[in-house]
């Protein structure tokens, strides 16, 4: 994405002029996530878990959505149940979409198993190969 230091926080949206052609390709193919594996190697992230949100989102939803803080009881993940189930991309109807993501995240945390993580990785791979319409 292009960067303007004077801009305020704004999520990328479909056809966003700030997204470069190479950035669009990297995002659609999930190749932009490769650097996150360094965070996994140093122990700051997991491969599967609740996807981290922008600081602005966390600051906003921490007090609005019940149990939002429970997302922090596990490491954030490169991929997650919410993303493979369609709750990925722009949160333009922010509260409803964030509630939807939170429900998936809490379900994932409550029902965690290694087999489920493997399944989520498989679903992520399938989504990557197929392409995800919600990836901006």
* Successive 10-residue mean pLDDT values, the chain, 136 residues: 77 80 85 90 96 87 93 95 85 79 96 97 89 57
Cα 78 from Cα 22, distance rounded (Å): 20
pLDDT of residue 134: 56
Closest among 80, 118, 133, 119 to 102, alpha carbons compared: 80
Cα 1 from Cα 73, distance rounded (Å): 31
Which spans in 11-93 are helix H?
21-28, 36-41, 55-61, 81-84
- Structure-token pair, residue 36: 């996150």
**How is the chain split into domains, by residue range?**
21-130
Is 29 buried (19+), middle (13-18) or exposed (0-12) by CB count in 10 A?
middle
pTM over 0.75, yes/no: yes
pLDDT of residue 69: 94
Closest among 72, 82, 10 to 44, alpha carbons compared: 72
pLDDT of residue 29: 81
């Amino acid at each position: 994405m292009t960067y303007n230091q004077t801009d305020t926080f704004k999520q990328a949206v479909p056809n966003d002029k700030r997204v470069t052609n190479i950035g669009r390709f990297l995002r659609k193919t999930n190749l932009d996530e490769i650097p996150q594996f360094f965070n996994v190697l140093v122990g700051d992230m997991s491969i599967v878990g609740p996807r981290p949100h922008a600081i602005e989102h966390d600051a906003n939803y921490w007090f609005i959505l019940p149990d939002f803080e429970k997302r922090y009881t596990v490491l954030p993940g490169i991929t997650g149940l919410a993303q493979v189930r369609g709750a990925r991309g722009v949160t333009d109807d922010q509260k409803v979409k964030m509630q939807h993501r939170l429900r998936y995240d809490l379900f994932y945390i409550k029902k965690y198993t290694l087999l489920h993580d493997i399944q989520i990785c498989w679903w992520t791979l399938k989504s990557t190969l197929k392409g995800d319409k919600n990836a901006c």
